[in-house]
A and B are shown apart, each in its own frame.
Chain A
Amino acid sequence: MFGAGGGTNSYQEVEDTDCIFLWGSNARETHPIFFHRVLKAVRRGAKLFVVDPRKTVTAQWADSWLAINVGADIALANAMANEIIRLGLEHREFIANATTGFEAYRACVQSYTPERAESITGIPAETIRAAARAFASSERAVICWTLGITEHHNATDNVLALINLALLTGHVGRYGSGLNPLRGQNNVQGGGDMGAIPDRLPGFQALSDDAARTKFDKAWGVTIPPERGWRLNEMFDAAERGELRTLYIVGENPAVSEADRHRAEAILKSLNHLVVQDITLTRTAEMAHVVLPASTGWCESEGTVTNSERRVQRVRKAVDPPGNARDDIDIVCDVARRLGHDLGSPTAQQLWDELRTLSPMHAGMSYARLEALDGLRWPCYDENHPGEQFLHARLWENPVRGPRAPFNVVEFEAPVDEITHEFPLLLTTGRRLDSFNSGVQTGQYTSPLRRGESLDLCPQDALRFGVRDGERVRVRSRRGSVEVPVRIDDTVRPGLAFMTFHFDVQTNMLTIEANDPKSGTAEFKATAVRIDKLEVGAATAGE
């Protein structure tokens, strides 16, 4: 946000803060060691607010569980702002000095009274008021979020709504106050840092910036096209139009993980040439024309990853890869060689040192320092720089150095997939503690906690649809259907169902490819479904 995409606080600050909002995050299960920090804060007396449609094990630790209807986050955030402004708890000095666009924002949130928000979010107005007061009046406060915010058709607007709250109260740019997306995979942050974003070069330098591009042109001896590339969803759209015919996929399993799986599979099948580089023969790899077996990033190769507190850390080779699996760097250089470009045979450290000459925010992070200091947080401009603990301290300088932080007017929009008489249930998806994404890795160890895929329903809905615990049913959306056993679960509320996508049940046959226009993320969190009972006699034993 405000230029560089990364969480603004260190984990230690979360331990030391006074008020924590976990917004669309089930951190107890999905970021367990981060949640240890939250628990330390809670035991110190910090207030914990959990915004989640489900009463997750995370919500069970909260001072206040804001049981929100799926997709109503902007209504909640705007209503909190409405209450904060009504009480005069906004940070006027910070707003005047460090932000722009406040008047338009104030006008927008005026209509979001807590009573109106109650009708949209399902959260009692008084609960919204109390949350707003606690957030605004805490000395320090952080908002942390996960995919409950970003897997929506209006993901970027959701994030902007949270940023607005931080700007309104001055809860950013200070120790223990800030905005933190908890990354779902071990190097999501590092991928962004390294420029794996269609309009960025490494270190978040804009592709449209001529000076930045020229610097890379010189270092690499090529001319980098100034036009932004495609995001994953744009690639899929282009493939559907026949504009993209070759796809080289590294370490991703879109045949399983993409929303609307029927469509994703059809697109992958339609390609002239599909190359998949991965550590196992995934479903996507099975569809490929060429499979390049790779070594496992975290234990069979050298390099770095960046975590959710912007800390760049070393990964090291502990064991040799099996068979003919090779290091990603080797594979890429060899492919380049076949294409007529000699990139040499660089080591991970040599590539890193090259990056340090091109990305100022990484310049001070030598391998020696990364090893001696257990990693460093960016930005780290030179070898005497300790790395920034928290970002955007400049917003507290008067006058502000650099551009001011803008408020963005954002309005509530309901999820795309409409709940109707025909599809009366809202299915939302997420992870469980012992499993990870499409199960390629976690499927290989035996977990005593694992109970397989299920459609989690509250007892009232089980009664309403006439299904019992363990009964196999067909769950149908407007795009596809899957067969799955029902599990009666008190953590979901009436009208809401929950599934993961860790197992053989192809949950993403159901989900909708309704993408956020700014980030390209699909609305995995909101699918309208119905339950069809299987014919008597056709039912098989539960898993």
Chain B
Amino acid sequence: MSISLDTGVRFSLEIDGVATTAPAGATILDVCRAVGVDTPTLCYLETLTPVNVCRVCVVELEGARTLVPACSRVVEDGMKIRTDSERVRASRRMVLEFLASSVDVSLADDMQRQMKRYGAKPERFGAEARTVRQPVKVDNELYVRDYSKCILCYKCVEACGSDAQNTFAIATAGRGFDAHISTEFNVGLPDSACVYCGNCIGVCPTGALMFVSEHEMREAGTWDEARQTKTDTICGYCGVGCTLTVHAQDNEIVKVSSPADHDVTHGHLCIKGRFGWKFVGVKKRRSDG
């Protein structure tokens, strides 16, 4: 979440040689987006506090020894920023290659696009680099955790924690190559503090966290986004009025998400909104009342 400190003061700065202005409190990423500079991000999301772990958004700041993360560096008057220097390109490429060499990023669409853009060749590190490969964790009927696809962006931890849900069911455990997302004492989700809001799924950029419905359809080869429709509507349960994006394939709901820019939800839902739609697809609707 960008920190809002709009005092009316505007700073002058230069991005790739083009002069622009930005309000005090804006980040370099905010400015890049405002002037249309495509900046890759992995761990950043508008609705979450920047954690600065992925370093893929780095830019070159004149006078600074190291590259700086665009997502969290706040603009100052007179900054001269380069977003496409060879140093920036090489750094971004390396970040993407390191991640893609060790992790299965086949479902990370935006990351794939950036890898193409920067000419990333993760295969040059060889098959031994796939250090996080492991079986999919299927321990409940609502969502699966496939940590072979986890790039440790921490978004799920943030959404489960103080940025949204405040449940703290997951955190990072281990250090260095052993770092991974884990429940307390690595117990299964049903024994953890998880309340199945699925807000971690909502922010996951790589498909490591996925509805069971989607996981099963992908395993069966029937998941086909080209045949899916997305319809925004309002949740049918309590009176908060959360926007649900209903993903349907062949007239069946296959999953539910919420738009991150919606004023009521900021992309977050509860267990009923995200998972409580099965009754719609029960062809011969019956009562249990």
A286 near B287 with CB under 8 A, answer yes
A314 near B234 with CB under 8 A, answer yes
B142 near A256 with CB under 8 A, answer no
Shortest Cβ distance from A30 into B: residue: B238
The verdict on A43 contacting chain B, using a C-beta distance below 8 Å, is yes
Question: Within the complex, what minimum Cβ distance (angstroms) separates B280 from chain A?
Answer: 6
A448 near B142 with CB under 8 A, answer yes
A441 near B242 with CB under 8 A, answer no
The answer, among B189, B234, B278, for a CB contact under 8 Å with A444, is B278
B271 near A318 with CB under 8 A, answer no
Q: Give A323 to B284 CA distance when docked, in angstroms.
A: 8
The answer, among B189, B248, B270, B284, for a CB contact under 8 Å with A448, is B189
Chain A 389-423 per-residue mask, 1 if CB under 8 angstroms from chain B, else 0 = 00000000000000000000000000000000000
The answer, among A186, A320, A375, A447, for a CB contact under 8 Å with B235, is A186
Contact stretch, chosen from A81-89, A153-161, A218-226, A302-310: A302-310
Residues in A neighbouring B237, C-beta threshold 8 A:
185-186, 436, 441
Shortest Cβ distance from A313 into B: residue: B234
A309 near B285 with CB under 8 A, answer no
Given A39-B166, A318-B229, is A186 in contact with B234 using a C-beta cutoff of 8 Å?
Answer: yes
Other than the known A185-B237, A281-B286, A448-B190, what 12 A-B pairs have Cβ atoms closer than 8 Å? A33-B240, A33-B269, A187-B239, A280-B279, A283-B287, A299-B280, A307-B239, A307-B264, A314-B233, A322-B285, A443-B289, A444-B282
- Chain A 274-326 residues near chain B, CB threshold 8 A: 279-286, 293, 296-300, 305-309, 311, 313-320, 322-323, 325
- Chain B 227-249 residues near chain A, CB threshold 8 A: 229, 231-244, 246, 248
The answer, among B238, B264, B289, for a CB contact under 8 Å with A183, is B238
Residues in A neighbouring B12, C-beta threshold 8 A:
none
Residues in B neighbouring A320, C-beta threshold 8 A:
251
Chain B 257-287 per-residue mask, 1 if CB under 8 angstroms from chain A, else 0 = 0000011111011111101111110111111
Residues in A neighbouring B286, C-beta threshold 8 A:
280-281
Question: Within the complex, what minimum Cβ distance (angstroms) separates B3 from chain A?
Answer: 13
A186 near B272 with CB under 8 A, answer no
**Interface pairs A-B: 8 shortest CB-CB:** A307-B241, A183-B239, A444-B279, A298-B236, A32-B270, A318-B231, A318-B246, A443-B288
Residues in B neighbouring A255, C-beta threshold 8 A:
289
B288 near A504 with CB under 8 A, answer yes
The verdict on A434 contacting chain B, using a C-beta distance below 8 Å, is yes
Residues of A within 8 A of B (CB): 11-12, 30-34, 36, 39, 43, 61, 182-189, 253, 255-256, 279-286, 293, 296-300, 305-309, 311, 313-320, 322-323, 325, 374-375, 433-436, 438-449, 504
- Chain B 194-236 residues near chain A, CB threshold 8 A: 194-197, 229, 231-236
Residues in A neighbouring B278, C-beta threshold 8 A:
444-445
Residues in A neighbouring B277, C-beta threshold 8 A:
299, 445
Question: Within the complex, what minimum Cβ distance (angstroms) separates B101 from chain A?
Answer: 35
B289 near A317 with CB under 8 A, answer no
Q: Give A38 to B207 CA distance when docked, in angstroms.
A: 30
Question: Within the complex, what minimum Cβ distance (angstroms) separates B155 from chain A?
Answer: 16
Residues in A neighbouring B251, C-beta threshold 8 A:
319-320
Residues in B neighbouring A441, C-beta threshold 8 A:
236-237, 276, 279
A374 near B246 with CB under 8 A, answer no
Most B-side CB within 10 Å, residue of A30, A186, A300, A440: A186
Shortest Cβ distance from A256 into B: residue: B289
Shortest Cβ distance from A11 into B: residue: B264
Residues in B neighbouring A187, C-beta threshold 8 A:
239
A32 near B197 with CB under 8 A, answer yes
Residues of B within 8 A of A (CB): 140-142, 162, 164-166, 189-190, 194-197, 229, 231-244, 246, 248, 251-253, 262-266, 268-273, 275-280, 282-289
Q: Give A284 to B288 CA distance when docked, in angstroms.
A: 11
A308 near B240 with CB under 8 A, answer yes
Residues in B neighbouring A256, C-beta threshold 8 A:
289
Q: Give A43 to B166 CA distance when docked, in angstroms.
A: 11
Q: Give A405 to B166 CA distance when docked, in angstroms.
A: 39
B289 near A186 with CB under 8 A, answer no
B288 near A434 with CB under 8 A, answer no
Given A280-B285, A448-B142, A449-B271, is A316 in contact with B243 using a C-beta cutoff of 8 Å?
Answer: no
Q: List 10 A-B contacts (CB under 8 A).
A: A32-B270, A253-B289, A298-B234, A298-B236, A311-B264, A314-B232, A320-B251, A441-B279, A442-B276, A448-B142
Residues in A neighbouring B289, C-beta threshold 8 A:
253, 255-256, 282-284, 438-440, 443
The answer, among A34, A285, A319, for a CB contact under 8 Å with B248, is A319
Most B-side CB within 10 Å, residue of A12, A309, A319: A319
Most B-side CB within 10 Å, residue of A188, A282, A284, A293: A282
Question: Within the complex, what minimum Cβ distance (angstroms) separates B260 from chain A?
Answer: 12
Given A323-B283, A440-B287, is A447 in contact with B271 using a C-beta cutoff of 8 Å?
Answer: yes
Question: Within the complex, what minimum Cβ distance (angstroms) separates A423 from chain B?
Answer: 27
Residues in B neighbouring A279, C-beta threshold 8 A:
279, 285
Most A-side CB within 10 Å, residue of B195, B196, B233, B241: B241
Q: Give A447 to B212 CA distance when docked, in angstroms.
A: 12
Residues in B neighbouring A34, C-beta threshold 8 A:
240
Q: Give A444 to B232 CA distance when docked, in angstroms.
A: 22
Residues in A neighbouring B243, C-beta threshold 8 A:
313, 374
The answer, among B196, B238, B287, for a CB contact under 8 Å with A185, is B238
Most B-side CB within 10 Å, residue of A189, A315, A504: A315
Residues in B neighbouring A319, C-beta threshold 8 A:
246, 248, 251-253, 280
Residues in B neighbouring A36, C-beta threshold 8 A:
164-166, 266, 268
Question: Within the complex, what minimum Cβ distance (angstroms) separates A297 from chain B?
Answer: 6
Q: Give A322 to B233 CA distance when docked, in angstroms.
A: 19
Residues in B neighbouring A444, C-beta threshold 8 A:
278-279, 282, 288
B234 near A445 with CB under 8 A, answer no
Q: Give A320 to B232 CA distance when docked, in angstroms.
A: 15
B238 near A316 with CB under 8 A, answer no
A299 near B253 with CB under 8 A, answer yes
Q: Give A36 to B167 CA distance when docked, in angstroms.
A: 11
